[in-house]
């Protein structure tokens, strides 16, 4: 039987401007997790140890998102495996993905929990989970697949819902991007609630055209990136939720840098490996990271 599982899951940036709820990009900023199977039951109050981002805020018991998702999926996949092992596991987490910043931290946690459950089930002779099945389950939990898809398969993804499916697009015009992470946080539900139910036909048509252009810009012609990342569908409606971030997007775009809000914000994503230091406001972390290929990485020790 497996003694431990190690998984690395990348941060993700969803939307990429006009690609609302469909485009996602995996980033080389990863959470590293080690699941250990012990010989005897463990203390239920200290199931999880956490280092890094939000270490002082996250629960240490089974209410931790990764452990909770793992338990729910394992119980459904293989009730016998769940009965045998759920009381004997601990999780060590090294968090590098900032939380509540629009970088897919919850999607990474959900993907990790599902993947770990599938690996435990398979090791005990139960059902396994393919990456497509992991994505489907993650999309149900998250509500949409745009953040989960890059964490599962890597690179630039275009995803559809019901059922969740994702296609990868080879990014050839950029190798690294810059994420500009503010100190403030934003709840995803708050950001989504700012978008009206009805959108003008001209706005929808314009965004559809630019999503097609964005694929062309990322695969063939980087000179089109600035125009291809114009968005009228979600960012402007959310301006009041993250005014400083939108001011930063505006100032970077005025410099010719293709910048957008990352996911639900407030992080800003610049599709370049070079943002001038003088363009970065005080209190904002500028991190240049590669595009992460291949999605999560899972290994086992027996």
CATH of the domain at 284: 3.30.70.890
Rg (CA), the chain: 20
Q: Is 126 annotated as a binding residue?
A: no
Q: Is 196 annotated as a binding residue?
A: no
**Whole-angstrom Cα distance, residue 242 to residue 223?**
28
**Whole-angstrom Cα distance, residue 241 to residue 102?**
13
Q: Residues 233-266, buried b or exposed e (16+ Cβ, 10 A)? A: bbbeebbebbeebbebbeebbeeebbbbbbbbbb
The reply to whether 230 and 251 lie within a common domain is yes
Whether the per-residue pLDDT at 194 is higher than 90: the answer is no
The reply to whether 20 and 122 lie within a common domain is yes
Segment 259-289, tens digit of pLDDT = 999 999 999 999 999 999 999 999 999 999 9
The domain that contains 109 carries what CATH number?
3.30.230.10
Q: Is 127 annotated as a binding residue?
A: no
The reply to whether 95 and 108 lie within a common domain is yes
The reply to whether 12 and 84 lie within a common domain is yes
The reply to whether 192 and 151 lie within a common domain is no
Query: Where in the sequence is the domain holding 209, given as residue range(s)?
Result: 176-290
Q: Is 194 annotated as a binding residue?
A: no
Segment 199-257, tens digit of pLDDT = 899 988 999 999 999 999 999 999 999 999 999 999 999 999 999 999 999 999 999 99
Task: Cis check for the bond before 266: say yes or no (omega within 30 of 0).
Answer: yes
**Whole-angstrom Cα distance, residue 145 to residue 136?**
8
3-state secondary structure of 181: strand
Q: How many domains does the chain have?
A: 2
The reply to whether 35 and 146 lie within a common domain is yes
Instruction: Pull the structure tokens for residue 115.
Output: 């993947």
Q: Is 253 annotated as a binding residue?
A: no
Alpha helices (H) in 131-224, listed in sequence order: 131-142, 148-153, 188-193, 201-219
Segment 145-168, tens digit of pLDDT = 999 999 999 999 999 988 899 999
Closest by Cα among 266, 273, 298, 297 to 98: 266
Whether the per-residue pLDDT at 302 is higher than 90: the answer is no
The reply to whether 163 and 189 lie within a common domain is no
3-state secondary structure of 88: helix
What is the longest distance spanned by two Cα atoms in the chain? 62
Q: Whole-prediction pTM value?
A: 0.95
Q: Is 143 annotated as a binding residue?
A: no
Task: Check if the beta carbon of residue 3 is closer than 8 Å to that of residue 36.
Answer: yes
Q: Is 38 annotated as a binding residue?
A: no
* Token pair 């314009």: residue: 206
Q: Is 52 annotated as a binding residue?
A: no
Contacts of 159 (CB under 8 A, 6+ apart): 22, 24, 135, 139, 145, 146, 149, 165, 166, 167
3-state secondary structure of 274: coil
The reply to whether 106 and 247 lie within a common domain is no
The reply to whether 36 and 109 lie within a common domain is yes
Stretch 83-90: mean pLDDT: 95
In this structure, what are the phi and psi dihedrals at residue 112, rounded to the nearest 5 degrees? -60, -45
The reply to whether 145 and 132 lie within a common domain is yes
Stretch 57-74: mean pLDDT: 97
Instruction: Pull the structure tokens for residue 184.
Output: 């403030």
Q: Is 107 annotated as a binding residue?
A: yes
Whether the per-residue pLDDT at 95 is higher than 70: the answer is yes
In this structure, what are the phi and psi dihedrals at residue 90, rounded to the nearest 5 degrees? -130, 160
Number of DSSP helices (H) and strands (E) in the chain, helices first: 9, 11
Strands (E), 38-80: 48-52
The reply to whether 79 and 187 lie within a common domain is no
Task: Check if the beta carbon of residue 13 is closer than 8 Å to that of residue 105.
Answer: no
Stretch 70-76: mean pLDDT: 97
Q: Is 93 annotated as a binding residue?
A: no
Q: What is the predicted pLDDT for the residue at 196?
A: 83
Task: Check if the beta carbon of residue 25 is closer than 8 Å to that of residue 270.
Answer: no
Task: Check if the beta carbon of residue 179 is closer than 8 Å to that of residue 245.
Answer: no
The reply to whether 162 and 273 lie within a common domain is no
Q: Is 82 annotated as a binding residue?
A: no
């Amino acid at each position: 039987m497996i003694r431990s599982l190690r998984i690395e899951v990348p941060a993700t940036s969803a939307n990429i401007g006009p690609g609302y709820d469909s485009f996602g990009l995996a980033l080389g900023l990863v959470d590293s997790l080690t699941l250990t199977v012990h010989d005897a039951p463990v203390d239920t109050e200290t199931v999880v140890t956490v280092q890094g981002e939000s270490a002082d805020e996250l629960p240490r018991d089974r209410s931790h998102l990764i452990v909770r998702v793992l338990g729910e999926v394992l119980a459904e996949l293989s009730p016998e495996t769940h009965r045998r092992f759920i009381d004997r596991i601990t999780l060590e987490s090294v968090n590098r993905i900032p939380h509540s910043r629009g970088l897919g931290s919850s999607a990474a946690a959900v993907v990790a929990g599902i993947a770990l459950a599938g690996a435990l089930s398979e090791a005990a002779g139960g059902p396994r989970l393919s990456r497509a099945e992991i994505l489907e389950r993650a999309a149900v939990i998250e509500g949409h697949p745009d953040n989960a898809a890059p964490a599962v398969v890597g690179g630039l993804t275009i995803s559809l819902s019901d059922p969740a499916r994702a296609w990868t697009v080879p990014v050839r015009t950029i190798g690294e991007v810059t994420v500009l992470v503010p100190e403030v946080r934003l709840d995803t539900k708050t950001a989504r609630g700012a978008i009206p139910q009805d959108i003008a036909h001209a706005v929808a048509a314009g965004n559809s055209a630019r999503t097609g252009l964005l694929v062309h810009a990322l695969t063939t012609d980087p000179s089109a990136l600035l125009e291809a990342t114009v968005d009228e569908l979600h960012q402007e409606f959310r301006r009041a939720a993250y005014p400083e971030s939108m001011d930063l997007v505006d100032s970077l775009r005025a410099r010719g840098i293709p910048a957008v809000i990352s996911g639900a914000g407030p992080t800003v994503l610049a599709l370049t490996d070079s943002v001038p230091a003088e363009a970065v406001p005080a209190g904002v972390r500028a991190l240049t990271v590669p595009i992460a290929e291949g999605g999560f990485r899972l290994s086992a020790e027996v």
